Amino acid sequence: MNDETNNRLIELTDDETGEKVKFEHLDSIDYKDNKYFVLTEYVEDEPEDSENEYDVYVMKLVEENGEEALEYVDDKEIINHVFDEFKARAKDEFEFIEE
């Protein structure tokens, strides 16, 4: 893992299972007075030139008990807006597959 990737890793704990999951932080986007993180699950020891496909998650930065936390976003309009903004910003860095 290179230093740039290491600086972009976020470890989250699944509230239901208690399992820790590592994500790579791809971008942060402000929308409607909120900050959203665009993340993908981190796969350790994968070559940089890998052509594997990965899911992307949009999470909202919230404050819980005075601490920052991330929560999944269910609102399709927000997800679409944030993801479209991310695709526009990262079009030269990633290949996007439309479903």
Mean pLDDT by 10 residues, the chain (99 residues): 63 87 93 95 69 83 91 94 89 68
Residues 13, 15: Cα–Cα separation, whole Å: 6
Domain parsing of the chain, residue ranges: 3-90
For position 63, what pLDDT does the model report?
92
Say whether pTM exceeds 0.95. Answer: no
Q: What is the reported pLDDT for 43?
A: 78
pLDDT at residue 87, as a whole number: 86
Q: Exposed, middle or buried by CB within 10 Å (0-12, 13-18, 19+), for 10? A: middle
- Using CA atoms, how far apart are residues 6 and 2, in angstroms rounded to an integer? 6
| Per-residue model confidence (pLDDT) at position 1 | 43
User: In this structure, are residues 73 and 79 in contact, taking their beta carbons and an 8 Å threshold?
Assistant: yes
